[in-house]
Chains A and B, each alone.
Chain A
Amino acid sequence: MGEIEQMKKEAEALKTQIEAARKAVHDTDMASAASGVAPAPRVQLKTRRTLKGHLAKIYAMHWSTDNRLMVSASQDGKLLIWDSHSGNKVNAVPLKSSWVMTCAYAPSGNLVASGGLDNMCTVYNLKTPVIKTVKELDAHTGYLSCARFLSDTEVLTASGDTTCALWDLETGKQKTVFLNHVGDCMCLSLSPDMNSFVSGACDSLAKLWDIRDGQCKQTFLGHTSDINAISFYPGGNAIITGSDDCTCKMYDLRADQEVISYQDAALNSGVTSLALSMSGRLIFAGYDDFNCNIWDSLKGEKVGVLSGHDNRVSCTGVPPDGMCVCTGSWDSFLKIWN
């Protein structure tokens, strides 16, 4: 038998072994285990702010760690920095390329980043008298779908070239490339302890990576289409994913498997984005059907809906203090709800 044939056989045996190991610990699922938990209250949130200013579809938004400022990105070719309390625009950053798909706020509040079909991640300094481009991170061979700052010196990116990468902002070079997905990477989420991250891709898989050694540690199966959104559960032991297959799922990292699926026969729109409330109990998931559905993460039940956008909800975000949820849409508006 040729070596390739041997490798294929061993691969199949390992996959069978993994499936059996997962089954062996599958003594229940999350919804059954939570049957005794009191239901989450019916969640009825009001629109507190409608942020108007973008002239085209909004593709991404990200909260600052100060719980007040946020950055949004639109294919009108701008990043806008908003003061969510007053509803005022604090800054506007014109983009070289208007085909933006992601934006990020550094934890320090000093920097923001954007990227998209230009295949680059551009980092801007908000604190200089005039906003300056500090680095163009240029090495991906596919679009930039997501970027997140670890600090003012390190950025993580996910790309349509199927890789994720850790960049050194001082040199502008990739320190680590995370290789294993076989489809476009669409999203990433940093673990609370910052030692690992998870990515979701068009191969319908979510993967857990060690940031420092570059290794893929775990792969999560279950979705049947592109994973567009992903987030760590607070506490770091689980992740939530959202997919074009119209479902969201929770995967527990220590059980190494899907433990609950958030779906409804009446829902046949893809999930574009998601964000969690502070305790993790509520999942805010944005859909192609213009709504943001609110799920009880433990019981798998829909407990509310945010309706108000006139087009697809493309991004959602909850600030670190959990005081509201922001939705951004192709209708060019951002809404703040609580």
Chain B
Amino acid sequence: MVSKMSSKMVGSNNLANARRMVQQLRVEASIERIKVSKASADLMRYCGENAKYDPLLMGIPASENPFKDKKPCTIL
């Protein structure tokens, strides 16, 4: 079982780290955000336009399905 060893936390009582954190937050605070309604509409449109090309959504006719025949696995 792989254990996720947590590495040490970045100390926030270190001046350089505090400066870096503020700098990073300034970058993240400055971005333009669009409304979730617009973001959602765009995602819905993307799905709608691409649905017909999505084999797992539309189903695959047996004649076009490269995985249709179940064959035993050959060991080389």
Contacts and interface: CB of A to CB of B under 8 A. Distances in A.
Interface residues of B, number: 56
Given A161-B7, A281-B51, 10 more contacts: A11-B21, A14-B28, A24-B33, A30-B43, A85-B67, A86-B74, A218-B31, A278-B57, A322-B54, A338-B65
Given A41-B57, A279-B50, A280-B50, A233 B39 contact: no
Interface of A: 3-4, 7-8, 10-11, 14-15, 17-18, 21-22, 24-30, 33-34, 37, 40-41, 43, 45, 48-53, 59, 68, 84-90, 99, 101, 116-117, 142-143, 160-162, 180, 182-184, 186, 202, 215-219, 226, 233-235, 237-238, 252, 254-257, 259, 277-282, 297-298, 318, 321-325, 336, 338
B36 A117 contact: no
B22 A324 contact: no
Contact of A281 (B4, B57, B60, B70): B57
Interface centre among A14, A43, A215, A336 (most CB of B within 10 A): A14
B71 A86 contact: yes
21 contacts: A14-B25, A28-B36, A33-B37, A37-B47, A40-B57, A48-B65, A49-B73, A52-B73, A89-B73, A90-B76, A184-B7, A217-B31, A234-B50, A237-B42, A256-B33, A259-B36, A277-B56, A279-B50, A281-B47, A282-B57, A324-B55
B9 A87 contact: no
Interface in B1-36: 2, 4-7, 9-10, 12-13, 15, 18-19, 21-22, 24-29, 31, 33-36
A182 B9 contact: yes
Q: Which 10 A-B pairs have the closest CB atoms?
A: A33-B40, A48-B67, A7-B18, A279-B50, A14-B25, A279-B54, A252-B39, A255-B39, A278-B54, A277-B56
B55 A180 contact: no
Nearest to A85: B66
A166 to B, nearest CB: 19
A322 B53 contact: yes
Given A89-B75, A184-B7, A277 B25 contact: no
A15 B43 contact: no
A277 B67 contact: no
Contact of A11 (B25, B54, B71, B72): B25
Contacts of B12: 8
Contacts of B26: 14
Contacts of B41: 33
A233 B22 CA distance: 30
Contact of A259 (B6, B28, B40, B47): B40
A323 B50 CA distance: 14
Contact of A324 (B7, B35, B38, B56): B56
